[in-house]
Structure 1
Amino acid sequence: MILVLYALLGLAALYIILLLVIVLNTQKVCECSHCHTAMHLERTNRPLYVRRLYDYLPLKYFRCRRCHRTFYLNKNTPDSEPESMKDSAPKPKASYT
């Protein structure tokens, strides 16, 4: 009986630790915390354990193509979509042909 109780407490502790890792990895702004870029971000699928255990959390999962870091972003955050490279790129000059 005690062994079952310890196993349940261990599983509960593991669940809480994983939840803390996710919450601490959540950003407030849609930019990479490592290289501070907002253009090289892509939305990816959340890991399987997050989809199974923490599906109730309103999070988006992003990966930076520049430094390959991953982070979560709350769905309710304003400006929660990354900047498009098309929007920020300089317009081409008119050709004289």
Structure 2
Amino acid sequence: MQVLRTDAARDVGVMPCQTTDPEVFQDREHQRLAKSLCAGCDLKRACRRYARTHREWGTWGGETNEERAAAGYLPRGSTKDYWQRRSVLPAS
């Protein structure tokens, strides 16, 4: 898995997600790494906003599926019931 250090990426005008295996941002196993790569990114807020608007899956702007669902932005194709069963959302 290739990961370019965040500060080095900024120095050359490249965002960490552009130089990292995309699976890192889709795989629950790598959520901590994905969040740490997003933490120092200047586009973090824009990326998060994009994911919320387009109902994306994965870690975007340092925010996971679960965190977006808890904030009321369900990923595309999922239902409120799905997130309630996973204890991300309170039962109705």
Question: What TM bracket, shorter-length normalisation?
Answer: under 0.3
Q: Which has the larger share of strand?
A: 1
TM-score normalised to structure 1 length? 0.25
Q: Which has the larger share of helix?
A: 2
TM-score normalised to structure 2 length? 0.25
RCO higher in structure (CA 8 A, sep ≥6): 1
Larger Rg, first or second structure (1 or 2): 1
